[in-house]
Structure 1
Amino acid sequence: MQFDQLNRRDFIVLLGGGSAGWPLVANAQQSGKLFRLGYLAFIRGQDSETVLQRLSELGYSEGRNLRFDLRSVDGQAERLPQLAAELVRAGPDVLIAGFGTLAAKAAKAATTTIPVVFTSVGDPIGAGLVASLNRPGGNVTGVSSEASDVVGKRLQILQECIPGKLTIAVLVNPDTPFSTLALQELRVAADARGLRIQVFEARTADQVPVAIEAANQAGAAGLITLEDPLIVRVRHQIAELAAKARLPAVYANRAFAEAGGLMSYGVDRRQLYRHAAEYVDKILKGAKPADLPVEQPTQFEFVINLKAAQSLGLTVPNTLLVNADQVIE
């Protein structure tokens, strides 16, 4: 059976934007102001680098018309409110929230007046960031990283590799706001496929090996991870531990497949970050965050690591191989 609706790469960009802008920002641009951007990151990485690169393509240059202030908590969530407050005190024209929901929530809590653009949030409404996707309201908008059925599609991919009515382990950080919604969707998809879901929690990097070992001891046949900054940060460790436990796994981020994981199915995050930069540009040119619809991905990328499959003794079905955007050999 061919994997249904496994589409490739591009995203539809919801352009949006009201005719009335933020007057102070618009007037500042006309006067040749040096724009100041604050960037709150949960972990340092591709998100801030890609945002800055796209801003450069849009005509912004550090030292000429842009100052880019990056603050990262390096995975220490408890520091987010403090660094968000520091960035707000510096008076940025736009505050950007890096990968993950926790950074976005900290940015929103820190200001009700400075425009906030989040780069990657799974459930913006459920997290209390926006009133609706089409009309965010307030001072916050950005880019969503998940579609409603994406976790179910990952489960479908995994079942095609390991057919049967099996137990699938789910590695999750319960402190991530998106986890609750994702788990609900995953359970519905599992029930429809006759699969049993068993959840294993990891709030810190030290808990990841314990969780994967517990999944192995419980007799899980496969593994799915619910993406969050912690899980992404320790992706090499997770891929190694899953291989050692001989757990076929499907991940949300291609970085896992590149790190030795079996498969990934999810959005092209580089494009998410580029689109977030485009929202920053719109706001600096006068658009209201309240009028910029939260952008949602409509197409995804699928990556298979054949070397990982061979080490697990798996034969990846041709129906998956022909639909892959990339096969790592």
Structure 2
Amino acid sequence: MVKGNKIRFRRQILLATLLIAVCVFLSGCIGKKPKVYRVGILCGLDYIGAIPDIFKSEMSELGYIEGENIIYDVRRTNFEPDKEQQILEKFVSDRVDLIFTFPTEVSMAAKAATRETEIPVLFAIANIEGTGLIDSVRQPGGHITGVRYPGPDLAIKRFEVMRELVPEAKRMWVPFQRGYPIVTSQLEVLRPAAEAVGVTLIEFPADNAAEVQAELNARSKLDKIGFDVILFIPEPLSCTIDAFEVMAKFAYKHKLPIGGITMQVGDYGSIFGIDVDDPKTVRQAAILADKILRGTPAGTIPVVSSESYFEINYKAAQELGLKVNEGLLSRADKIIR
């Protein structure tokens, strides 16, 4: 009888111990707050200003709900290096969990600003050729990775489409932002391609719309303006509203084809654009962000490339008397009629 009582007593002690352990465990779980991630987002160009909202939407699909388990600090600039530096310094001082930047220049600045920290940097719409942004595609290195903007590839595609639309064009005026880091790698592939088919590239670097206006005003006073089409390569000058409007008005006045980017300012627009598919690019970036926030070192995550998106303004091409062949139309992702 005594022995039976002892066994029951031991069982009661064991059961009580287990209940206490379970209660302690549950109270710890209940009291523990879920991780709230802080992400600094820097958009460095108005032309791609929709990306932050697309990114938030894609992140929510992956389980990151703004205000619950993730907080965003979204900042916007438009080719303003000093302001961008201040923003990045604040992200660093705030010790955010991730910095998401686009396009190229702000991504390069973010890499430099976080060099002495462990804060991971995720880029998109950024060239890797000739920028020193990463060590390699497979091993980006440091604490950076992202979605490559295929600048040289797009430059060649834009050149080829312009030649299909205007095969008689022998002189292409190519304006671009002076000193912008992604331009050199594009011109390096464009020059031999143009030379091989007997096309002369008339390169024009400028700092702003005023310089573009002055150049085109001077050409307007000549007997011949000196070029047959205006070709935009991937860079920021051509997609700023003021500069684009100056060039588009000039093209309209002289009945010149203008293309490379899809843009419309008032009654003036381009005849075609080839760029990356922004929603798909941002979706790729969100997947990378998820990996980083889950603990994978950014520098070990391979860089991925954006897919291109081809849009043609068939109506504008017809107004200029251009023949758009069926082969070109079949390759277009979107046709404006």
Query: Among residues 93, 101, 106, which one is paired with 2:104 in the alignment?
Result: 101
Query: Among residues 158, 163, 166, which one is paired with 1:162 in the alignment?
Result: 166
Q: What number of residue pairs does the alignment pair up?
A: 296
SS of corresponding position for 1:206: helix
Please give the per-residue CA displacement for 1:227-274, whole angstroms capped at 9, x wherever unaligned. Answer: 2334323276244443333221221x4456997310112321221122
Displacement, 1:213?
Answer: 5.0
Pair 1:303-2:311 in alignment: yes
Query: Among residues 107, 123, 140, which one is paired with 1:136 in the alignment?
Result: 140
Displacement, 1:300?
Answer: 2.3
Q: Which residue of 1 aligns with 2:211?
A: 207
Q: Which moved more, 1:88-97 or 1:231-240?
A: 231-240
d(CA) in 2 for partners of 1:158 and 1:125? 24
Displacement, 1:301?
Answer: 2.1
d(CA) in 2 for partners of 1:69 and 1:35? 11
Please give the per-residue CA displacement for 1:108-152, whole angstroms capped at 9, x wherever unaligned. Answer: 111122000011112x25211111111101011111111643322
Bigger helix share: 2
Q: Which residue of 2 aligns with 1:114?
A: 119
Query: Among residues 34, 37, 53, which one is paired with 2:36 in the alignment?
Result: 34
Please give the per-residue CA displacement for 1:7-45, whole angstroms capped at 9, x wherever unaligned. Answer: xxxxxxxxxxxxxxxxxxxxxxx9621100001221341
Please give the per-residue CA displacement for 1:61-90, whole angstroms capped at 9, x wherever unaligned. Answer: 221011100122233233221111111111
> Are the equivalent residues in 2 in contact too, given 1:266–1:300 (CA < 8 A)?
yes
Describe the shift of the 1:279–1:240 C-alpha distance in structure 2 as closer, same or farther (beyond 3 A): farther
Which aligned pairs between 1:182-261 and structure 2 lie closer than 5 A?
182-213=186-217, 218-234=225-241, 237=245, 238-251=247-260, 253-255=261-263, 260-261=269-270
Give the AA of the match of 1:191. E
Describe the shift of the 1:81–1:66 C-alpha distance in structure 2 as closer, same or farther (beyond 3 A): same
Q: Which residue of 2 aligns with 1:149?
A: 153
d(CA) in 2 for partners of 1:31 and 1:133? 37
Please give the per-residue CA displacement for 1:197-254, whole angstroms capped at 9, x wherever unaligned. Answer: 0011222233343455567764211121122334323276244443333221221x44
CA-based RMSD of the aligned residues comes to 2.4
SS of corresponding position for 2:270: coil
Gapped regions of structure 1 (runs ≥ 5): 1-29
Describe the shift of the 1:181–1:211 C-alpha distance in structure 2 as closer, same or farther (beyond 3 A): farther
Give the AA of the match of 1:93. D
Give the AA of the match of 2:124. T
Give the AA of the match of 2:332. A
**TM-score normalised to the size of structure 2?**
0.80
Q: Which residue of 2 aligns with 1:20?
A: none
Pair 1:60-2:67 in alignment: no
> Over alpha carbons, which structure has the higher Rg?
2
SS of corresponding position for 2:100: strand
SS of corresponding position for 2:288: helix
Describe the shift of the 1:72–1:147 C-alpha distance in structure 2 as closer, same or farther (beyond 3 A): closer
d(CA) in 2 for partners of 1:307 and 1:170? 24
Using CA pairs under 8 Å that are at least 6 residues apart, name the structure with larger relative contact order, 1 or 2.
Answer: 1
d(CA) in 1 for partners of 2:283 and 2:210? 32
Give the AA of the match of 1:288. P
Give the AA of the match of 1:205. A
SS of corresponding position for 1:128: coil
> Are the equivalent residues in 2 in contact too, given 1:38–1:95 (CA < 8 A)?
yes
% identical aligned pairs = 32
Query: Among residues 35, 46, 52, which one is paired with 1:48 in the alignment?
Result: 52
> Are the equivalent residues in 2 in contact too, given 1:125–1:133 (CA < 8 A)?
no
d(CA) in 1 for partners of 2:163 and 2:176? 19
Please give the per-residue CA displacement for 1:294-318, whole angstroms capped at 9, x wherever unaligned. Answer: 1123x42221102211332222223
d(CA) in 2 for partners of 1:279 and 1:291? 11
**TM-score normalised to the size of structure 1?**
0.82
